[in-house]
Every structure is written in C-alpha cells, then in structure tokens.
Amino acid sequence: MNNKTREPLFHIAKRAALPWYRTWAIRGGALVLALIVCALITTLVTGENPLQVYVAIFKGSFGTSRKVWVLLQNVAMLLCVSLAVTPAFRMRCWNLGGEGQALIGGLAAAACMILLPGKLPNWAVIVCMTVSSILAGAVWAGIPALFKARWNTNETLFTLMMNYVATQLVAYYCVVWESPKGSGNIGIINPNTQIGWFPQIGSYKYLLNILIVAAVCVAMYIYLNFSKHGYEIAVVGESERTARYVGIKVDRVIIRTMLLSGAVCGLAGLLLVGSTNHTLTPTIVDGRGFTAVMVSWLAKFNPVWMILTSFLLVFLSRGAGEIATRFSLNQSFGDILTGVILFFIIGSEFFINYRIIFRRPAGKED
Amino acid sequence: MKKIIALLLALVMVFALAACGEKPAENNAPAENNAPAEAPAEAPAEAPAEAPAENAVTVKAGFIFLHDENSTYDLNFINAAKEACEKLGVEYLLKTGIPEGQECYDAAAELVDEGCNFIFADSFGHEPFLIQAAKEFPEVQFCHATGTKAHTEGLANYHNGFASIYEGRFLGGVAAGLKLNQMIEDGTITADQAKVGYIGAFPYAEVKSGYTSFFLGVRYACPSATMEVTFTNSWYDPTLEKEGATKLINNGCVLISEHADSMGAPTECESNNIPFVFYNGSAADACPNTFIVASRIDWAPYMEFAMTCVANGEAIPADWTGTIATGSVKLTEINEQAAAPGTAEKLAEVQAALEAGTLKVFDTANFTVNGETLTEYLADVDDMGDFQPETNVISDGFFHESEFRSAPYFDIDIDGITNIDA
C-alpha cells in the first residue's frame, strides 16, 4: 500500500476538441448542478421552497406581457453595450470604458434635447442627438485608443478612468440643468412638447430600441466575420507582429476599432436618454458597461451568442428583483443565486477544455 | 477508492439535508400567492372591521423604493410601509432598488398588473415617472413622498405627501443650543465662539428649509450662535460628508448637524469629540459620547391615511403635510450622555408651544435678511420648470412653510448663516 511513487487521486489533462453535443451536455450539467446548489442555499438560508423561488424567477421575466417587454428592452440595452465592446475585445484590446462611453453619449443627447428646441424642428433635433451621441462616444473611446496606438499606454486603466470623468461630467450637468433649483435632478426633459423623444412604434414603448439593437447585432456579426476590417481585427488580436508582417497598419486598426466601439456605446446612451428614459442621471447606464464585459466573454465574442448570454444575465437579474418582492428577501439574495449560477457556467468551460483523470484502480488495491 | 466513496457519502448527506429542508417550506405554499409572508394571517381578520363605508374597497398596496434597507433614508420608508400595512391589515408588495428613470414607471405598471390599487414611491426623482403611470392608470391612487407637482398636475389620482420636519429640526436645534449654553457656562467656549456647522446634500429648498429651522432652534436657546453650511451635492456620500465635517470642525465649529443619509459625519464627530444632532435615526450606538438627538419623518401616518381613503373610496388631497401633532415628525430618544442637563424638559415645553401654535418656527421677528425683517416673499410653489416664484408665503408675521404645497419651499438665505462653499 505504501508505494513511494503514489499516483495522485486525479490529475488534469487537456482535452482534444469535443463534439458539440458533449460540450452542451457539460454546460447543461453545470446548469443543473448550479440550480441544485442554489436550491440548497435557498432552503438552508431562507427556509423557502426552492421550486417556488425558481417559479418566481421565471415569472419575474415572463409573468405578464409587460414583463416580457421590459425583459426584451433590458436585453436589448445590455446587448447594445456588449456589441460595442466586442470588436475591441476581439482585437485583445480591453475596452472597460463602455459605461463612460455610453454615459457621454447620453449626455450629448440630453444636451441637444435641452439646448436645441426652439432653434430647430423636432426631426433636426433628433438628427443632431444621433450624430452628437455617436460622436461623443467615439471620442471618449478614441482618446485612450490614440494613446495606446501612439505611446502604447495601457488601455484597460485608461478606459476605466475615463468612466469616472464621464460620471463626474454628467453629475455636473445634472446640477447645471436641474429642475427645480437646487435639487440636482433634471427630471423628464421636454415633458409637454416631447421634442427629441424618439417615436413610439404603435403602442409598444420599447419596440424601436429592440429593432435598432437587432439591426446593430446583425451588422456587427457581418462586420466581424465577413469584412476585411473584421479579418484585420482578428489578425491583430492573434498577433500584432504577424499583422505588421502581412502589412496591416496596426495603429490604424486599433484606433478605428476603438472608435467603432465607442460609437456603438454612444448609440446605447442615445437610446437610453432619447428613447427610454427621457432624462439623464449619473447612474442611467446602470453598470451595463461592466456587465457587457461578462456578456461578451461568456459568448466568446460572438455577437449571436451574445443575445443568449445577455438574455441570461437580464433574466437572472429580473428574477432576483422578483424574489426580493415576492419573498420579502433582500435583492442581494437574488444576486447571490446569480453569482452561483455564473460560477458554474464559467466553471463548465474548464471541463470543456480539460478533463480529470482519476487514478486507475491498480490490481493490488483493496 | 475510499476518497471517492467519502465524496459520494458527503453528497448524499447534502441532498438528504435538502430533502428535509424542503418539507417545512411546503407548508408555506398557500401563503406564497399572498406575497409578503407577514401579511396573510391578519388580512381577512381585520379588513372587514376597517372598512365600514358602503363602497368599501379592498386595498392592495405597492411600494417603490430607490435603494433597499441598507440606506437609512429608504429604511425609514420601508419600516413605515410595513407598520402601516400591518396595522390596517393590507396586503402589500415592496419593490426595492428602483432607479429614478423609466424603471420607476415599469415598476409602478407591474404593481398595477399585480392588482395594487395604491402605489407609493419614496424618491424625489421618481416623480415624473410616477405621474406618467398615474395618467395611464386613472383607477389606481398614486402617492409620492417629497414631490412638488401634484397640485399643479391636476390629476385626481396623483398626490404628494411630506411632513413639517422643520418643527423636528427646530427642536433638534433647541437641544443643540442648550448644549452650546452648557459649553459657554463650562468655559469651554466663549459666547462668540458658539458656531455650529451643517452639512447639506444639495442647496435645495428642502435642505435650506431644514438647516434654517435648525439654526433658528439653536438661536432660540443660544442667541449668540452663528452657523456655517457646506454642501456635498449628493444625497449619500460617506466620504464627502466626513470631509465636510472635518472642514467645519477646522473652521472652528463646535457642534455639527447634517442633512444627508450616511454615517460619514457622525463618526468624524465622535472621533473629534464634537457633539452633533442627527437626522433619520439614532446614532447613539455608534457615537455614544457625541450624539445628542435626531429628528425624523414617520411616514406611517400618511400611508395609513392614504390607504384608508382608498379603502373608503374617499379622495386623497393633492398635498398632505403631517405635523408633530399627527405623529409624522418624531424625535429619537435623547442621549443623556451628550445632551445638556434639562434638555428633555425644555424640548417638551417647546414642542407643546409648537403644537399649540403659540410658537412659529419661521416667525419673521426671529430672522432678518440683509439686516431687514421680511414682510412678504414670493416662493416658487408652482414648479412648472420656469423657476418663476409666484406665491406670497409670508403673512400674519410668519413664513407659511408646507402650506401651499407639502414639499418645503423656504429657500431664503438668512443672516447669521454662511455658506462656506460660495
């Protein structure tokens, strides 16, 4: 029994590529395990019946047609920011500034809505909002990109810090445009004239947003997979030197891609201000710039899979809100469950790439 | 092999635990549809007794909060909502963490879908989105705390509520003034050094009304007092509030009060041994040596009143202002360790005078602006986004705060108060 060269109980080895049904079996298994662990936590900590909690989570997104619309709207907005950061990520350029880029786009849109009425007709205000938001987002991403391309600064830190600058700028303008005086709150912009409000399609408040983001999603998929630009992004992401060797101007690709990234973030800010909220607050993007990082990674930077991953995250967060209301639990409890589920989903990728080999039962083992 | 068996055994045990755990929970199953676990038992018992009117309606209440119970501001509302609903035996749903945007409208609409016929929101920025919902659901009553627009919006189902918290702050100021007197008598400070500091959130009428009434209370007890004010431009920012306290203490303020929602300033006062008067709730546990007293709004009377109106099919007034007399303005226990001796007796006496109406907080005889006594003042009571003051609010020798609408509109800079940020 006491061999000197004891084989460990198990060891880890890299797997060859698995057929698709096995990878999905592993992912499905992870989800089932996650649900079991969540059920255990729920029962032990709160004494609620986990099945009822799951039903409540499901109802939080699909309980009524209104909830479905809210779900779709939230998925669309999260997807929009996620699509925005993806081209940069594919290039291995970590744009963590989605929050600030969307916020600054929203600020530009709000500025047009507040300053332009009376000077321009409604359609022209909307055109100005669109152009200025997209430009503002692009500039906000372009500054760190320029520094990276020219002086090889770290884009992760730079884009992250630009978020705080954007938040403070918005907080400042909330005081400038406040109503009533001293409140630091803008309130709904142009509530009576509705100037700068995006049109509503029929009786569906959020349909326009959803359609716009769906179009962006398709366009981004085509751009990344079937265009020359998309190919260049992929090459730069794989190896900058290879890209240089084959004659790709790396600096230009970095700046161009980051501008695109920022522009789509700016579009997200435009939709949040012009189409959804009609107001501006420093928290209007609501952390989507950071959640987008996870959406994009989980989907392996594939725009179509991102529909699924952003749906999953919104579904879980809406469910968290629902169980907070339904069981008088704190919203944080829902977030704990979300964390457990994400942990298992991310962990399952490990088992797709690696396998665990257990010690073979040797002949003399009892 | 043993290890694998051990692992399996552990798993089996865990599942067994889960199976046992689920059984008692199943007993709760019928309650699940009634949403909050606390409500169901009382609901059938008390509802009939509560609604004697002929056109009685069963109330189902929905509440919308900006944050959850970790914010002192929202906790104050959450406690009031539970208290009011349990007292009336009303079924209720709470939605926490609702931002001041379209989410507020969505939350209100979802509550309507759930069958709520009374909806309450607690944050100033919720107002326009709640109005949007009120227009869409005319059969549902909407109440909003701290809002300004109900009396001009003209909707039969949208209402604002507030409380005459300036009375509570005045009482807090009296307690602070007594403390200053004690320090002067001790010889700790001279009468000219009786300077208090105040940390405000925004230079908004609600905050200005608050610190002015506090200051008038201080001077009621200690006539030589002056005050310095600094703003954080945020409702909740522990760091800025702490820095504000440091700044005021360095400027020579010997007592601090505040209108912001964190514990930043109190902890700074405790470590510098500077007495302070707090807001929203007691800080006696965290700051036993320096916390004197705190005032707060109790929202339960307003919620009870509004829900009773809904139950009886009566109209809720566009504006409702609770007072000390209705139990809407409350003081916490006085911390004897920090307060001056005799504070409780003096406060009881002043409170009785306020309730009787013989003492007015904003008596024009007690304050001046640029050395002159005001005889009239136009305030922007009708908040139409035009910033145009239109209503004279001074008559009979005092400023009529929270009479023309529930939310405060006292925004005058009076003599004796210095804004150190200006």
Please name the member of A47, A191, A358 whose beta carbon is closest to the beta carbon of B25. Answer: A47
Closest CA to B332 of B287, B286, B297: B297
- pLDDT confidence of residue A105: 98
Q: What percent of chain B has pLDDT over 70?
A: 87
Is A147 found in the same domain as A188? yes
pLDDT-based confidence at B44, cuts 50/70/90? very low
Is A352 found in the same domain as A246? no
- pLDDT confidence of residue A357: 85
- pLDDT confidence of residue A69: 95
**B294-300 average pLDDT score:** 95
pLDDT over 60 at A169, yes or no: yes
Q: Which amino acid is at A327?
A: F
State the fold for domain B53-164+300-322: Rossmann fold (3.40.50)
- pLDDT confidence of residue B108: 97
pLDDT-based confidence at A23, cuts 50/70/90? confident
pLDDT over 50 at A178, yes or no: yes
Helix A65-90 to helix A303-326 angle (10° resolution) is: 140
CB of A48 within 8 Å of a chain B CB? The answer is yes
In chain B, list all ranges with CATH 3.40.50.2300. 53-164+300-322, 165-299+323-419
Into how many domains does chain A fold? 2
Instruction: Examine residue A151 and state whether it is found in any structural domain, yes or no.
Output: yes
Give the C-alpha separation, A71 to A311, whole Å.
8
Q: Is the ipTM of this complex over 0.90?
A: no
The least confident of A23-27, B20-24, B376-380 is: B20-24
Q: Which chain A residues in 139-178 lie under 8 Å from chain B, judged by CB atoms?
A: 171, 175
Give the C-alpha separation, A185 to A323, whole Å.
30
Mutant choice from A178, A277, A288, A366 vs B, greatest count of B C-beta within 10 A? A277
Is A186 found in the same domain as A147? yes
- pLDDT confidence of residue A19: 86
CB A30 within 8 A of CB A347: yes
Three-state SS string across A291-328, please?
HHHHHHHHCCCCHHHHHHHHHHHHHHHHHHHHHHHHCC
CB of A291 within 8 Å of a chain B CB? The answer is no
pLDDT over 80 at B21, yes or no: no
Instruction: Examine residue A156 and state whether it is found in any structural domain, yes or no.
Output: yes
The overall average pLDDT reported for chain B is 87
- Chain A residue with minimal CA distance to B106? A70
Kindly list the distances between the CA atom of residue A206 and the CA atoms of A77, A102, A201, A291, in Å, as whole numbers in the listed order: 10, 18, 8, 21
- pLDDT confidence of residue A366: 47
**Structural tokens at position B260:** 């912001």
CATH code of A198's domain: 1.10.3470
Instruction: Examine residue A60 and state whether it is found in any structural domain, yes or no.
Output: no
CB of B96 within 8 Å of a chain A CB? The answer is yes
- pLDDT confidence of residue A333: 85
Beta bridge partners of B228: B197, B418
Instruction: Examine residue A53 and state whether it is found in any structural domain, yes or no.
Output: no
pLDDT-based confidence at A3, cuts 50/70/90? low
How far the first Cα of chain A sits from its last, in Å, is 9
Residue with tokens 């665990």: A356
Instruction: Examine residue A139 and state whether it is found in any structural domain, yes or no.
Output: yes
Please name the member of B14, B106, B148 whose beta carbon is closest to the beta carbon of A40. Answer: B14
Closest CA to B364 of B326, B385, B393: B393
Contact B28 A324 (CB under 8 A): no
Closest CA to A207 of A313, A99, A69: A69
Is A215 found in the same domain as A182? yes
- Write the CATH number of the domain with boundaries B165-299+323-419: 3.40.50.2300
Is A346 found in the same domain as A315? no
Instruction: Examine residue A58 and state whether it is found in any structural domain, yes or no.
Output: no
**A57-68 average pLDDT score:** 93
**A235-252 average pLDDT score:** 93
Which residues form the domain of A355?
A: 9-48+329-361
Is A135 found in the same domain as A92? yes
Which residues contact residue A133 at a Cβ distance below 8 angstroms, ignoring those fewer than 6 apart?
A105, A106, A108, A109, A266, A267, A269, A270, A273, A274
Is A41 found in the same domain as A153? no
